[in-house]
Structure formats: structure tokens, C-alpha cells
Structure 1
Amino acid sequence: MTGTTAVQDPDGTWNKVLQTQCPFCSVQCKAQITMETAPSGTVSYTVEGLPNAASGGRLCVKGLNAHQHALHTERLLQPLMRKEGELVPATWEEALQAIAERFAEGAAAYGPDSIGVYGGGSLTNETAYLLGKFARVGIGTKYIDYNGRFCMSAAASAGSKTFGIDRGLTCRLADIPLARCIILAGTNIAECQPTLMPYFNEAKEKGAFIIVIDPRVTATAKMANLHLQIRPGTDMMLADAMLKVMLDEGWIDEKFIRERTSGYEELRSRMQTVDLAEAALLCGVEEELIRKAASVYGQAETGIIFTARGVEQQTDGHLAVRAFLNLVLASGKIGREGCGYGAVTGQGNGQGGREHGQKADQLPGYRSIENEADRAYTASVWGVAPEDIPGKGVSAYEMMELMHQGQIRTLFLMGSNPIVSNPNVNLVKEALEKLDFLVVADMLLSETARLADIVLPVTSYLENTGTLTNLEGRVLLREAALPAPGDARQDWSILCAIAARIGKGKLFSYSSSEDIFEELRMASKGGAADYYGITYDRLRKEEGIYWPCPSTDHPGTPFMFSAAFAHPDGKAVFTSLQNPVSKEAVSEEYPLVLTNGRVLAHYLTGVQTRRSPALAARSEANFAEIHPDTARRYRIEEGQWIEIESVWGSFSVRSRISGHIRRDTIFVPMHWGGVQNVNLATTPALDPFCKMPGFKVAAVRIKRVY
């Protein structure tokens, strides 16, 4: 339950107690903020966790300080319009009228597909749903995608192909302590979702064997019984090597394979071509360690495999995840307690944000925009003809390419910062600058917002009511705890106001987020991600409900695939496909591998966390983690400014010398823009299955900056 209460102490101090939900990672911890206003007017804040099923009342350092950016003096409190080259204050009337006029002019001159819509993985389900509807039947464009493309697309597409449905975790968080073996592949839980660490600590205390696959000795890796310090980009090869051992040794569940899967014989045939010694050499991991990992997981009675961006943000991310899912299916470790697979969602609503229409190929409820029956059903809910819904668009980075080519000439952007988060940032910046018209809706002036023609102020998590879906698939209600500051507006109400200005007001006549959710329920009914049985009243009483939930008397589905998978025949599907793409290879000119990731104190592109004094103080600037031997080779000292360059571009950061990184690898966090932006050097190559960029592998060279 979220909300606000206010009490006055005898000494005249006013205590305002806000109940809310952390806006950052996919755990979505509940929090209570006490605002104490002394008679002198001084305000102090105390933050504590509230009991909840996911984190048990824990908060990490980001959640403890999230209020600082929401209450920051740099919050946008009124619309801004570019006049004579400068962003200056404007009224909502001016801003909305200008948007309507420019949208109409662009559509008349170049067609509705000249307008793009770009969303975010931290938007509520209601706003994500409405943004998809706004793009398709408000503007009439097929071009909509969102920054969650860079978060979950590989795991989502792999889960859909393997299981017939994509839900982040097939099991519950409560199953973690029941697992006898846990594999954490490309995920640093200790820094990215730290409030989940007690689950893994409890599992270890109960005798679980934990395997971490990561090129760095992270805080998570330090917890592991076995750390496979893999060369970046070789995750699929490692999973195949482990499966090879399991097959050769007979550590598989033949009954499960026979009764509940398809495609096994083709996979087994391909496994005969896998050379374990060669795979170990290419992965940079000793063969005996691979055998050990396969032995423990293969023979464990129960086990869970988790993947995250380290595996997924690759040009073969889809197949790399499917290679790990092959391990799950071959061992039969799914559909029962203490077993399963989990894609550790990154963004706060990375799960829900991709279920209801922000993705280029998707309609609400995980329906497909290319399926005629799905289009007809969605059209019936929206009150339009099926042919009024445009077809499939392109992925987030491909939208940037179309902008650069002049095909997309207008962009409406809500809750994202693509000039920092996209790969190949030099092209992205040029693309944004080429636009005829750019509108950004945000609560703070991001690097992208500084390029906009119009900036619209939106509410923060403290002022915004809506549902979010955490990494388990548990739908949660976060209610506004404060009124909107200044002239800031709810993001969904901005979409409704623009729709009214462009003559589509009848399709967007909502008075609350709950109104939108009621329509979302109907739009998702019968779909893969069925929210129909979930209501605001139920969420207030029950705290959270797992989807699918097809009726209001259904308890929700915390545990997936106990009886059948979601394919028509009820079976899960092995893949025998081999990697169809080549990755950037190191060379004499570019001899090192650049990879990237997160640090504990910051989140996404840092627009919010870098405005939190408590968080900024923990990590003020970006850095490059370099092995001591590599540093000596290039005569680099601790804290020295260095330039890191790929064929795509270069950036500069300070060095951090550490024995916790491979000698052939450099690690740089992703939370800074400007000259410290790691994405100035990342490749624009995309996974052919899901269009995930290959963030985690770039061949680079380094040099000292004098």
C-alpha cells in the first residue's frame, strides 16, 4: 500500500510519512519516507524499507536515496521551448499547440511514418500501454520502440522460442534457497539487485553450489563456489561445452526430454562437433573448471540458471540464452520447486514495459502485431478497424539509423536518454540533431533533452500512480505519495492532451491511471501476458499478483510450466542453431576487449542518480578497470586519464587498476555521458533474432592522455 499521512508533534514538527516504491531496479522494493519539517522550516528525510514479498523490507543505497533526485532543485517544473536557439520557459498551451501543429505538418509532408515514438523501461504499465496506442492509432505511425530493447530483448525472444512465452523468472524468488546448484551467468546481483542477495546467501548456507560466469571478479563472484572468468563474448560456447560434458557423462533427464521437449536429436547431433579443449581455450577458462561446473549442475537434484546483460547484450545474445536454456531442458530442472530459469530484468518495469505495446512488433498482452487475429482483437478493444493499426516497425537503434537517413524526421521521446544509452553514440547524436522536430518528456534535463525543441515536465515516482511488473512477473501498484510539483504532469495525461489536440481525443479519454489499467486488462485478456484478473482493488489488498491471471478469482501464476509449456503441443523446444554472426575480433591494431556494466551507486544513464548527492559522492566519475599487467604494458598509472578507442569512436576516463579483471579485458560502467560515455566506442552490430546491440564486446586500444 502506498500513500501519505501527516502528523504534528508537540514541538511543532510536522512529520509527513510517504509510502512508495523504489523507482530503480526490477525488484521494486517498497519504501517509507518520513519528511520532518521543523518549526524553522528545515526539512529532513528518513527512509526505510517496508515489508514486501520480493525484498522482505530491504532497501539498497539507491532506494535509500531515490527521493533526492525527485526533490532536486533541477526538476523540470514547466514546459520548455526552443526559441532563438535556447530552451526557455513556456506554457502548456504553447507547447501542446506547437506539438500538434508540427506533428500535423510532418505527417502531411512526409506521412505518419515520418514520426517516431521512443519509450522507456521505467514507465508504468499504463503509460507503456498508452504510448503504444498513442503511436499506432493516435499518430498512425509504425515506428515505436523503447530502451528496454537494450535490456531484455535477447532473453525475451529466447524464452518465447523455447518455452512459448516470456516471463522473466519461470520460478519464484522463494525457490532460490531450495536450489542445490545456482548458475549466475553475466549478472552481478550484488551491485545490480543487492536486495536479492540474502536469497543466494541463504541458498549457500543450505549447501547450494553457486557458479558465477563473469569476466570480472565482482562482489557476486566472490560469493561463488566456482567462478568461471570467461572471455567476453564466449558465453554460448561455454554453455555448449557444459552441455557436451553433461551429454557425454549421461547427466541428463531422458524422461523429461522425451515427454516434455522437442528438437533434442538435432541438438545431440550438433553437440558431437563440439571440441571441449578448443572451447575451453576460446572461452579462456580451464577445461577442468568447465567439467566441474557441468558436473555440479548436471548431477544436482535441483537447480536454477539466471542470465542477465553479460550474456544477453551480445550480437548472439538470443542464441547464447537459448544455449543456457538447453542446459535447463536437458537436465529437466524446470517446472518444479527449486528449479527453473530466470532472466534478471534490469529496469524497474523492464518486464511489464515489454508486454503491452512499446515494442515494434507487439500489441498489448504480448500479442503480435503481425498476427491478424491479434490485430483484430486489439482493434476491437480500441474501437478502430484492424487496418487502422500500422504494421511492424523497427528496433530502437534501427530507429536512430532511420533518423540519420532522414526517414524519421520527428521524434516523441518519453522516459529515455538515447544519446547516452544507444551504441555508436556519434551516429545517434548526429541523428537527433538532424531531426526536424524533437519532443522529450522527462523530469530532469537529460543529455538528450538538451537537444530538444520542446521539453515536457513529467512526474517522478513519488507523484505518479501506476502499476509495474517486477522481475518475477509480479504486478505491483505504486500510488502517488505527493502532488505533482509546479506544472509537471502525469506522463499518461500528456499523451491524452496531445491526442486531443490532433483530433484523437475520443480514443484517449481517461481520467486516471486506473481507467487506463481497466482498458489494459481487457486488451491483454486471453493474451500470453494476461492481466485481465488483476485490478487495483486486488493489488491494494494482495500487494502483488503474478501474471498470467485470467480471471478476478484466479490467484495468479507464481510458478510456470509445472504441467506444460506454452507452445501448442505443450513442449519446450531445444535449439541446435549455431552462432550465425561473427563478433568484433581483437587485432594488432585493437588488441583489447572492452565490456561494460553497472556499479552499485548508479542506474541507467545516471540522469537521476547523478543528481543524488549521496549517490554521486560514492562514484563521482566514470573509470576503466584495467589489470595491473595490462596497465604496466601501456605505462598507465592508477587514476590517470586514458583514451579508449574502437573503430566506432573514442572516450576518455580515469584508470582503475585491479586484479579483478582479465588481462585482455577492460571494464567501463555505462552511467555517464559526454566524453566519459562508453557507448562512444560500442559497436552498432545487432543480434539478427532480437536486434539487441552487441554492447558487451568491442575491440579497442588504449593510451595515456597527457
Structure 2
Amino acid sequence: MNKPDIHNDPGENVTKRIVRTMCPMDCPDTCSILALQHGNTARLYGDGDNPITRGYLCAKMRKFPERLAGSPTRLKSPKIRTSNGWENISWEKAFGLITERMKAARDAGRTEEIILINGAGSHGVLKRITEYFFRKFGTTALSTDLCSPAARAAQALSFGYRPCHDPRDVLNAGSIWMWARNPHVTNSHFIPIISEARKQGTRFVVVDVQKTASAKIADRFFQVRPDSDWAMIAGMIRFLIEEDLYDSKFCQEKTHNFDEFKKIILAFDPAELAVTCGLTENEIADAAKLFMEKPPTSLWFGWGLQHGKNACENVRMADALGAVSGNIGIVGGGVSHGQDEHEYFNTSIIECEAKRSIASVELGGALNGNMEPPLHAAFVFGANPAASWPDLDAVRKGLESLDFLVVADREMTETAKRATLVLPTTCFLEENDLMGSYFHNWVGRINRVIPQPGNVKSDLEIVSELASRLEIELEGDPEKWIAGFLEGSEKYGITAKALQTGPVEANDSQVIPLADGIFPTPSARFEFLTELPKPDESEKRELMLVTTHSSKWINTGGREDDYEGNVKARISPAEAVRLGFSDGDKIFIESDHGSIEAEISVAERIGEGIINIQTGGASAGFYGVNLLTNGKQTTAGHGPVFNAIKVRVRRLQDEGG
């Protein structure tokens, strides 16, 4: 672990100091950071005082100052689109144009014709003030995000909420099952904890659609077909019931509808379930026995489990496996995905009911006139919908059709390029905020490290200025907001004074979820699902799109120099033979909804029937994998369907015959 050293830091006549802060990126780890200010820039190091992140900082964050904060392409002035291209304008003019538009909508009683599109550019709690302001004004709001609505909804049906064990509880487990989660890339600080558990003799099992870096270190790996996890689990539970290996006492005393669920499971043909998930019946039986052999078993599932059409069924079956095996409410057990990163903060101060709302996945349709009154203007904060949204073609066309589009960002993103006005915003190194985590229970301050560029404003400064001009009461001092968000947090051992010296662990972090056996469901018990998809052998030879995260960037944060030529479409050697492709072949990938260009990359780790593309991309030449997606939703939670999309491929030179 490297540590910042002011004395060995080169440079004279510049301000140098060490500042404790937190990473606000869309990542579960929420690293504690030691930032060495060096004038107007900084070097970032991991803070060893946090036992979860342990002083390690990923490459994405280590490079942040040069890639984003100090980028030569960073926006430094408001811009307006004109017939001659982009022109710099003053903040006064920008605010004048915006307030004129907003006042006109308010005077006409049609504020809902404006929509706020906000995302996870930063998870700092003060970023939520932007949504609070626009809700107070009366705009249309997004009622869900694109990340985990399906998982949250599914686990709420099973447990009454989304329970999550402290990650260090896996040290008490006999077995750890990592399901559709690749911590090597998306949750890297989990790996040292898992490694420590394995040294103690804990078994590590991975289930995924491809042989990830995490799968390579597993004691056992099961490779399933995309979006078929429910079928594997159904086969496992069927085996446990038939062999009387399940926890019958827990099922009878702590669950609501086990007998009905049992009938549904036993009615399945094991052979059909095996074909559906791509495993043999023996492999499924082995998996069931492994799950029970070294208790307690801690199951952690990832975002891959809940971004297909069967998302809710996949998650609820994972919950059911935890219940049937008796691993709920015990030390070293649980079915964990994540938690509310702001649960320790007083978010009641920003509660405000929206005048009108839509799910994020419905944005494409909403922007294209399927609402009454229709949308005519939009504000975008912390999001890049022209690159990251499902039903991307509709979203892009809708954004381009708006009368007025304002984008607040640090760079000219794909969305900013379509805007009427672009407002330059600060990054976390230039702000004060509060951070929690959706993986662990440590809370910390985001503290300003470097000076805020003179003509750049924070999101809070922007909305507080708009509020003032629109005569809406809104506090503009971030420290007063921080004090408000911390009201009541002392019951968790979190105080403003304690946070001044570094991150603080909530005092309930070691509490085992549902240890009291009381579930906040209608029945006060665990509730099984009572409807499952039908096994579908017809999809066995269909080519399915699976998107995964990059180790180089987060979401759409990739830059041109991150790409090695064209967009890579990874397929297995067997699939390459079947399709007649070789490394480097240029192809079209087509779905029923759209198409993109890519380059074949043959990779051993990819399963048959899968074509894998990494998400993200901000370069002009990247057409966007989400052009292949549509606006379909999961059965609960209004979640998007990013994965397991049927696609076809053909050589690029075949275009036009």
C-alpha cells in the first residue's frame, strides 16, 4: 500500500496537504481515500484505516485526477448550441434562459412537461437535492433507477426488504457462493476477504455465464446459460426436497407458502431444467449437495442475476435456496446483494412527492410522446442517457426531439452533444458531501481536495441559484445540508465530529439480518414465489447477448484511449467454429430492435451460445451496445432488460450483399 508523502512530493510554491475523502462512484466498494493535494490537482491513495477497502485503490480511481478532474477536454464554461455550433456563454445568460423556460411552464400550469433525468454519476447524498428541487418545482421524475430495481422488488417480496450481511461475515461461512457476480472487476475489495475465508477452509463456488477471473480461483465453477439461473436453482431445490436434505423445520415454521412452492418445484422435469440452464442433471445434483455440505452457506448474487427478463424469478429463487437450506437469519449465511447506501442518513429532509413519475426503463417511450401532456424539455444531472439507457435508439431520438435540453456534466458526453445548453459541473475532488455504501457499513465525508475551477459550479450551486430565481426555498450551503442529513445518525455511532477524522463504521454492522426470525412481509414469514417460467429448450442454440463491466472504466466513463480498436464481441472457440468466424473479423450484431458494428474476439472463458460485450463507451466511434435493447421490463420493480437478448451476427462485408 502506497502512502502519500508531502515531503517527497515534487513541486515548489504550490499548496500541498493530505485530505481524507471517499469515492462516490457507482461501485459497491466506496473506498476511503487519502488525497494528496498538489496545487490544482491531486494524487489519490487508499486509506488503510478502513478495514474493508484496506488501503487499496483501484486503477479507475487512481487515474481519476488526470482522466477527469484535470482532463484537457473538461468543460470550463456554459455552452449554448447555435446555428454556427457551440458558443460559450455566461452563467447569467444560462440561468436566464433556464428560468425563463421554467417560469413559462409554471405559469401555464404544465411543469410536468419538463423531466429530470438523473443517474448514478455520484452516489453522494447531497446529489439527491437536485431531485428534491425539481420535484418541488413539479417536473416529471424518474421513480426507479436502472441498476437494481428488480432485485430490490424481488427481495422485498421474499423477505420484506433487501437484507445484506456485512461482507466480513463470510469469514464465518463454511461455503461462499458467488452467483452472477465478479468481484475481481466490480467489487475488488471483496476478494481479500474471500481469500482470507478460503485460507480458513471455506469453500468458494462461482455460478456465472462465463469463466470470470473470480471463477478461475473458485473451488468449483458452474457455467449456466444466460437468464436461466432460476432453472438451475429449481433443480437444486428439487433434489434437496427429494433427498430430504432441506431444512424442513425452517420451511414449516418460518415460511408462508412452502407446500405450494414444493408442489411447483416437484412438478418440474429435472431433465428439462437441466437443458434450460445448460448443465447436466448430475451437475445440478452436485451443486445441491455442495450447497449443503459445508454450512453455513453465504450466497452473494450480483447484477448479472437481475438484468434479464427472468430477473425477479432468478433473484427470488436465490432467496428460496437460502430459505430451503436454512441459511436465513444465521451467522455466516444469508442471501445478499446490497443495501441502501443512504440508510444511515436522515433523508426525510428531501422527501417530496412527484407530480408525475415514470420508471427509468420507460424513458424512451416517454420522450417520444406517449405521455399526456407530452414532454418538451429535460434536465440531465449525473447521467448519460444517450449512451447508458435501454431502448437507446428511442432515447436518443427523444432527446433530439425536445424543445429544450439542459445537461450538467464535466465533459461533452453523448447526451451533452444533443443539448441546448451544457452546464459545467464540479467533480467530487472539488465538493463536500456524505457517502455510504451499498456493500458495507462504513460512512464517510467527501471533503474538497482541490480548488473549484472558477467558472464551474456544483449541482447544488446550480439548483440553489435556480431555486432563488424561481422563488423556491432551498438551502445552498452544503455544510447545512450535511448537518441535516446527519440528524439522528448518532444512534448508529455516526456523528459530524467523528466523521471529521475519517470514515466511521455504523454500530449495527455486525447485526445479522432476520436473526429474530421476523420478516416484514404480509405474513411475517419468508414468502416463496408461486409462479415460475416454463423451461424453454428452443433458446438452446440462440445466440444471446451478455454485457459485462470493464475493469478500466465505470458505466459510460470510458475514453477513446481505453479502447483497443473496435468494440470487441467475445465468443467461445466452439461458437466461432459454428458461426465461421475468426479473431478480428468485422461483424454486424443485430437484434429485433437495432444493430451495432463490432470485431470478433475469440475467448476461452465465454460460454457457448453467448456473445459478450463490455458496457459503456463515450468515444465517437462507439455506437452503443444498448442500441440492441428495447424497453421491456422485468416482472416486478420496473427493471430494465440488458442481458439475454437474442441476437444475430453477420460479416460486415456482407452488408448490402
Tell whether the structures are fold-level matches, with TM greater than 0.5: yes
SS at 1:699 equivalent: strand
1:200 and 2:194 aligned: yes
Q: 2:32 — aligned with what?
A: 30
Shift of 1:695: 0.7
CA deviations 1:620-643 (Å, max 9, x no partner) are: 653110122322333322122211
Q: 1:400 — aligned with what?
A: 364
- 1: distance between equivalents of 2:631 and 2:590? 15
Q: Which amino acid aligns with 1:666?
A: I
Cα distance 1:458–1:36, how it changes in 2: closer, same or farther (>3 A)?
closer
CA deviations 1:149-194 (Å, max 9, x no partner) are: 2211112112222222235xx2111112221111111111111122
Q: 1:352 — aligned with what?
A: 341
Alignment of 1:609-628 (within 5 A): 609-610=558-559, 616=562, 621-628=566-573
SS at 1:441 equivalent: strand
Cα distance 1:299–1:247, how it changes in 2: closer, same or farther (>3 A)?
farther
CA deviations 1:203-251 (Å, max 9, x no partner) are: 2222222221111111111111221111111112222222212222222
2:329, 2:512 within 8 Å by CA — same for their partners in 1?
Answer: yes
Judge which range, 220-229 or 59-68, deviates more: 59-68
Q: 2:101 — aligned with what?
A: 102
1:487 and 2:440 aligned: no
Q: 2:446 — aligned with what?
A: 478
Shift of 1:10: 10
Q: 1:551 — aligned with what?
A: none
Q: 1:561 — aligned with what?
A: 514
1:510 and 2:476 aligned: yes
SS at 1:472 equivalent: coil
- 1: distance between equivalents of 2:246 and 2:127? 41
Q: Which amino acid aligns with 1:32?
A: L
For normalisation by structure 2, the TM-score amounts to 0.89
SS at 1:289 equivalent: helix
Cα distance 1:101–1:593, how it changes in 2: closer, same or farther (>3 A)?
same
Cα distance 1:271–1:632, how it changes in 2: closer, same or farther (>3 A)?
closer
Shift of 1:584: 13
- 2: distance between equivalents of 1:130 and 1:667? 37
Alignment of 1:594-609 (within 5 A): 594-606=545-557, 609=558
Q: 1:369 — aligned with what?
A: none
Of 219, 224, 228, which aligns to 1:230? 224
SS at 2:189 equivalent: helix
1:653, 1:676 within 8 Å by CA — same for their partners in 2?
Answer: no
Q: Which amino acid aligns with 1:641?
A: K
1:677 and 2:642 aligned: no
1:700 and 2:647 aligned: yes
1:239, 1:327 within 8 Å by CA — same for their partners in 2?
Answer: yes
Shift of 1:569: 7.2
CA deviations 1:647-705 (Å, max 9, x no partner) are: 11111122111121122110011122554411111232111311111111111111122
Q: Which amino acid aligns with 1:76?
A: L
- 1: distance between equivalents of 2:138 and 2:494? 29
1:80, 1:454 within 8 Å by CA — same for their partners in 2?
Answer: yes
- 1: distance between equivalents of 2:384 and 2:275? 39
- 1: distance between equivalents of 2:633 and 2:10? 62
Of 234, 238, 241, which aligns to 1:244? 238
1:209, 1:296 within 8 Å by CA — same for their partners in 2?
Answer: no
CA deviations 1:568-596 (Å, max 9, x no partner) are: 678442222324699997599xx411111
- 1: distance between equivalents of 2:581 and 2:521? 58
Q: 2:20 — aligned with what?
A: 19
Cα distance 1:577–1:110, how it changes in 2: closer, same or farther (>3 A)?
farther
Cα distance 1:665–1:90, how it changes in 2: closer, same or farther (>3 A)?
same
- 1: distance between equivalents of 2:343 and 2:369? 27
1:429 and 2:430 aligned: no
1:269 and 2:271 aligned: no
CA deviations 1:305-349 (Å, max 9, x no partner) are: 11112111122212211110011122221323211222158xxxx
Q: 1:499 — aligned with what?
A: 467
2:166, 2:509 within 8 Å by CA — same for their partners in 1?
Answer: no
- 2: distance between equivalents of 1:44 and 1:620? 30
- 2: distance between equivalents of 1:581 and 1:291? 20
Q: 1:540 — aligned with what?
A: 500
SS at 2:357 equivalent: coil
Q: 1:166 — aligned with what?
A: 162
Shift of 1:18: 4.2
- 2: distance between equivalents of 1:632 and 1:545? 53
- 2: distance between equivalents of 1:584 and 1:88? 57
Q: Which amino acid aligns with 2:152?
A: A
Shift of 1:456: 1.4
- 2: distance between equivalents of 1:8 and 1:281? 61
Q: Which amino acid aligns with 2:357?
A: G
1:652 and 2:597 aligned: yes
1:641, 1:704 within 8 Å by CA — same for their partners in 2?
Answer: yes
Q: Which amino acid aligns with 2:280?
A: E
- 2: distance between equivalents of 1:89 and 1:355? 41
Of 329, 333, 338, which aligns to 1:339? 333
- 1: distance between equivalents of 2:573 and 2:58? 31
Q: Which amino acid aligns with 1:83?
A: T
- 1: distance between equivalents of 2:57 and 2:287? 32
Judge which range, 435-444 or 558-567, deviates more: 558-567
Alignment of 1:270-289 (within 5 A): 270-289=264-283
- 1: distance between equivalents of 2:109 and 2:536? 37
Query: What value does the CA root-mean-square deviation take over the aligned residues?
Result: 3.2
2:226, 2:546 within 8 Å by CA — same for their partners in 1?
Answer: yes
Cα distance 1:321–1:530, how it changes in 2: closer, same or farther (>3 A)?
farther
Q: 2:54 — aligned with what?
A: 56
Cα distance 1:675–1:651, how it changes in 2: closer, same or farther (>3 A)?
farther
- 2: distance between equivalents of 1:136 and 1:532? 30
SS at 1:432 equivalent: helix
Cα distance 1:685–1:294, how it changes in 2: closer, same or farther (>3 A)?
same
SS at 2:366 equivalent: helix
SS at 1:567 equivalent: coil
- 1: distance between equivalents of 2:81 and 2:36? 38
CA deviations 1:357-398 (Å, max 9, x no partner) are: xxxxxxx85xxxxxxxxxxxx6xx57x9xxx84456211121
SS at 2:273 equivalent: helix
Give the total of aligned pairs. Answer: 642
Q: 1:157 — aligned with what?
A: 153
Long gaps (5+) in structure 2: none
Judge which range, 58-67 or 389-398, deviates more: 389-398
Shift of 1:23: 3.8
- 2: distance between equivalents of 1:49 and 1:226? 33
1:171, 1:559 within 8 Å by CA — same for their partners in 2?
Answer: yes
Q: Which amino acid aligns with 2:626?
A: N
Q: 1:327 — aligned with what?
A: 321
2:255, 2:528 within 8 Å by CA — same for their partners in 1?
Answer: no
2:378, 2:404 within 8 Å by CA — same for their partners in 1?
Answer: yes
Shift of 1:465: 1.5
- 1: distance between equivalents of 2:407 and 2:341? 22
1:128, 1:353 within 8 Å by CA — same for their partners in 2?
Answer: no
1:575 and 2:528 aligned: yes
Q: Which amino acid aligns with 1:610?
A: R
Cα distance 1:201–1:77, how it changes in 2: closer, same or farther (>3 A)?
same
Shift of 1:457: 1.4
SS at 2:460 equivalent: helix
Cα distance 1:498–1:559, how it changes in 2: closer, same or farther (>3 A)?
farther
Percent of matched pairs sharing the same residue: 24
- 2: distance between equivalents of 1:178 and 1:136? 45
CA deviations 1:431-467 (Å, max 9, x no partner) are: 1111111111111221111111111111112112212
1:667 and 2:592 aligned: no
- 2: distance between equivalents of 1:581 and 1:89? 57
